[in-house]
Structure 1
Amino acid sequence: MTVTATAGRARTGMAGRLAAAAQAVDAPGIVIAVSRRGHRTVHCGGAAPPPLVPRDQQRYEIGSASKTFAGLLLAELVRTGRLSYDDIAADQLAAGHPATAPRERSRNRDRDRDRNTATLRHLITHTAGLPSLPADFYPQAVRRWSTDPYRGYPAERVVAAFLRHRPRHRPGTRWHYSNFGASVLGHALAAATGTPWEELLGHHVLGPLGLTGTRLHPETPGAGAPADAPRTDACGHRPDGVTPVPGLAMGGFQPAGAVRATPGDLLTYLEAHLDPSGAPPAGTSLADALHAVRRPLLRRGQGHRHTHTLTWFQHPTPQGPLYFHAGATTGQQAFIGFRPDTRTAVAAVCTRRVRLLRDTFIATAYALLSDID
């Protein structure tokens, strides 16, 4: 695979297109990486001075795009026969999750079990009848909403909130985007396999794909490391583009949004989806799971215009489907997507959280993936 790198200056061809796209986004730091037919092009830019560690070698918080990793893990565990998409999450959690106390398990068994019929498939496809976040999440998070809202809500509380929740709609009948549901999925997989989430994801997804630059926690200075040692985690910023934001710890919501990765790892991840049979290492068992997460599962919206796979948003193009997912944390944003018909993947990250009505980042990255032929 060949690689072309640019840094803040326009060039011809793909490099020039990436430079123009980066200039359309107002952010302290931005990296746009494209893989097209086996050739990678990476552009680094932004308003802030270049950091000590080059931008394309730093790890970025990808927020909700982490859910694609959770869905791929689920597909792989189903392929191996350890789980079924139709397994009821509450059964896995009540039977095996260490965070669920016996008294809580007994209380939930005695209640109306119809409220706990959400399956693993419902959770990953946002059809489990759950809100975006648990109701009791907000009181503890509001005072640190813009900096660190998740740290104080551990896995035990996520599981307990799910087991006592009464959905307003029967699972499978309504679509509602839910960080709560994706997080419950992760804890159900951990409970069913008896393996902590981080270890489970590392063993079945990160390791087989060779994603050595991907982590689930903010970096902490090593023992004896100087305070001014270069950061390998990118520093995010508030909407003003100036105020730095500490690295985000996701607490019990790791499966929904904790992945932080280098642009190179994100391209490797997307390239595996483009060519599952050639995913590193060659012949990995993940090939079947990578094919599975590309299959359409549901349609929603007016005229059923929105199509979803197990993990990806899917949009049509004249040549074939386009797959993508975006994410945002308190100080960063990310877009990842791929198009099998053009053998193109785009991974874009920036170090500023921009409010929806002012955001050009997602639209710019999406347009780039859509327009490359």
Structure 2
Amino acid sequence: MSAPRPAALADRLTDRLADALAQIDAPDVVLALTRHGRRTVVSGGTALAPPMPREALRYELGSLSKTYTVLLLAVLARSGVLSLDDAVTDHLPDLPPVSADLRRITLRQLATHTSGLPRIPRDLVAGALLHPYRNGYAGYDTERLVRTFARTTLAHRPGTRWHYSNFGLALLGPVMSAAAGADYPTLLTDRVLRPLGLSGTTLGPGTTGTDAIGHRTNGRTPVAGADMAGFVAAGAVRAVPGDLLTYLEAHLFAEDTPLRQPLRDVQVPVLRRGWQHRHTHTLAWYQHPAAGGPMLFHVGATFGQQAFLGFHPASGTGLAATATRRGRTCRMVHTAYELLYALAGDSTV
């Protein structure tokens, strides 16, 4: 039997994405796939189509921003601006006296969530519990972030346990700024976004009508865009789906980019955790076993949007998914993960 024609393969991929799209419950949904360098994008949702096509809107990535931040960290490490094993306090010289445990935290530990820092500063916890849709980050500037770090008591000694921390990743912003002598947005733009050709990726809102509008869990109530203030390095990136595919393709085909070595660095497994050490992490990504080799992925959410990025190097497959609704009932993350896992083991498309 002859091999399927490219047009037939494209139709199959479109059908697979359309089936997955139907499982996701959100006002606006985009699924964007790159497979052997060929792109397929489908979009839809429960809301009326916006004036600008959904695939042209810029979406909030939330914690997916951390992969951009850690890639920037790898770029700066490769260029000798800093070392992953530098102490955080080495690059924050104006700190008041801090505990011995805080002085032990390294940049690598911030990136891999092994610093011992809590998920968010403790002075944000009560507000987050009482008002889950109120953006406590908005008034939390970098100076306050650093001051809070100086008086924080760690939950465990640095390097001994994995504990997800927005607080820790946010600190990479002022640390890298101090080391490189430029603010975080400038560093990210000059060292990562521009070299990779990510012109549709920003750290703030665009002009009216170019940004997707998020919604609460009910899928109806709009939510204001996320202002991350001092937590910019942990969750402020926004991107159009085309840029998300370009970003994934850079990881899949790093040798074709000017950031070849840093892109490889962030894909190397660095720790295992959980029962029987089943969970593997690289410097920037979660890594799970799949057909032919591991797949790497990360997820993110803001107060009204969700995003998923994943790639499978062995099959040259990358998947980006965005949805303008908060909450697990949206089923976006599960659906995107299962789709990427299935495509990783399917040689017929």
Normalised to the residue count of structure 1, the TM-score between the two structures is 0.87
Return the offset for 1:113.
Answer: 3.0
RMSD of aligned alpha carbons: 1.6
1:71 aligns with 2:70: yes
Tell me which of 231, 248, 271 is aligned to 1:253: 231
Corresponding residue for 1:238?
216
Tell me which of 238, 252, 258 is aligned to 1:274: 252
Secondary structure of 1:291's counterpart equals: helix
The answer on whether the counterparts of 2:228 and 2:236 sit within 8 Å (CA) in structure 1 is yes
Number of residue pairs matched by the alignment: 336
1:370 aligns with 2:346: no
Return the offset for 1:141.
Answer: 5.6
**Identity of matched residues, %:** 51
Residue correspondence of structure 1 range 1-373 to structure 2 within 5 A: 12-93=11-92, 95=93, 100=94, 105=95, 107-108=96-97, 111-139=98-126, 145-219=132-206, 231-279=209-257, 284=258, 286-354=259-327, 356=328, 358-372=329-343, 373=346
Please give the alpha-carbon distance, in whole angstroms, between the structure 2 residues aligned to 1:202 and 1:86. Answer: 24
Measured against aligned partners, the alpha-carbon deviations of 1:75-126 in whole angstroms (never above 9, x if no partner) come to 1111011111100012211x2xxxx5xxxx3x31xx5333321000000100
Please give the alpha-carbon distance, in whole angstroms, between the structure 1 residues aligned to 2:14 and 2:60. Answer: 24
The answer on whether the counterparts of 1:116 and 1:163 sit within 8 Å (CA) in structure 2 is no
Please give the alpha-carbon distance, in whole angstroms, between the structure 1 residues aligned to 2:101 and 2:128. Answer: 30
Return the offset for 1:168.
Answer: 2.7
CA change 1:299–1:142 in 2 (3 A) is: closer
Return the offset for 1:216.
Answer: 0.7
Secondary structure of 2:201's counterpart equals: coil
Q: Which runs of 5+ in 1 are unaligned?
A: 5-10, 222-230
The answer on whether the counterparts of 2:118 and 2:155 sit within 8 Å (CA) in structure 1 is no
Secondary structure of 2:138's counterpart equals: coil
CA change 1:335–1:115 in 2 (3 A) is: same
The answer on whether the counterparts of 2:101 and 2:158 sit within 8 Å (CA) in structure 1 is no
Equivalent AA in structure 1 for residue 42 of structure 2: H
Equivalent AA in structure 2 for residue 17 of structure 1: R
Return the offset for 1:21.
Answer: 0.4
The answer on whether the counterparts of 1:141 and 1:150 sit within 8 Å (CA) in structure 2 is no
Corresponding residue for 2:3?
none
Normalised to the residue count of structure 2, the TM-score between the two structures is 0.93
Return the offset for 1:137.
Answer: 2.1
Please give the alpha-carbon distance, in whole angstroms, between the structure 1 residues aligned to 2:53 and 2:229. Answer: 29
Q: Which runs of 5+ in 2 are unaligned?
A: 1-5
Please give the alpha-carbon distance, in whole angstroms, between the structure 1 residues aligned to 2:271 and 2:238. Answer: 28
Equivalent AA in structure 2 for residue 298 of structure 1: L
Equivalent AA in structure 2 for residue 252 of structure 1: G
Equivalent AA in structure 1 for residue 341 of structure 2: S
Please give the alpha-carbon distance, in whole angstroms, between the structure 1 residues aligned to 2:119 and 2:215. Answer: 24
Please give the alpha-carbon distance, in whole angstroms, between the structure 1 residues aligned to 2:268 and 2:252. Answer: 13
Return the offset for 1:362.
Answer: 0.5
